[in-house]
Amino acid sequence: MSRNVIDDGGPGFAASARNHDPTSDFSCSTSQRIRIELEEMTQGLPRAEAYHLIAARVRHDIVNLRDRTSVKFDAQVLHQQWQAERRSGKLRIEASDEQFATAEA
């Protein structure tokens, strides 16, 4: 199953996009490069996580522009960090469940 996380608006989008296209200031090659980059970055991820990753990428790029830096965005490191946070949260929940069970006994 192939799904497109980046919605291009469907077949009628190009005809109605003349005044509403957010990428109209980009050259075609830049727009295409960004699209391919985002699709590769989110390939195989659940939709919610893909949106979360795209938002993190945009936030990262804005911070780079604001701070005039060129720190490279590493999606793998960010994904691993999110997984570690989820696991630690799950472990905290399991620990509190154990404490609850021993308190009842």
Q: Phi first, then psi: give them for residue 8, nearest 5 degrees.
A: -95, 5
Query: 13, 16, 60: which is closest to 38 by C-alpha?
Result: 60
In a domain, 38, yes or no: yes
Query: 83, 75, 39: which is closest to 56 by C-alpha?
Result: 75
In a domain, 40, yes or no: yes
| pLDDT at 102 exceeding the cut of 50 | yes
Do 62 and 89 fall into the same domain? no
Q: Which token pair is 21?
A: 């296209």
Find the mean pLDDT for residues 69-75: 92
Do 36 and 63 fall into the same domain? yes
| pLDDT at 55 exceeding the cut of 70 | yes
In a domain, 3, yes or no: no
Rg (CA), the chain: 20
Number of domains in the chain: 2
Find the mean pLDDT for residues 73-81: 88
Range of the domain at 34: 12-71
Enter the pTM of the model.
0.56
Do 81 and 64 fall into the same domain? no
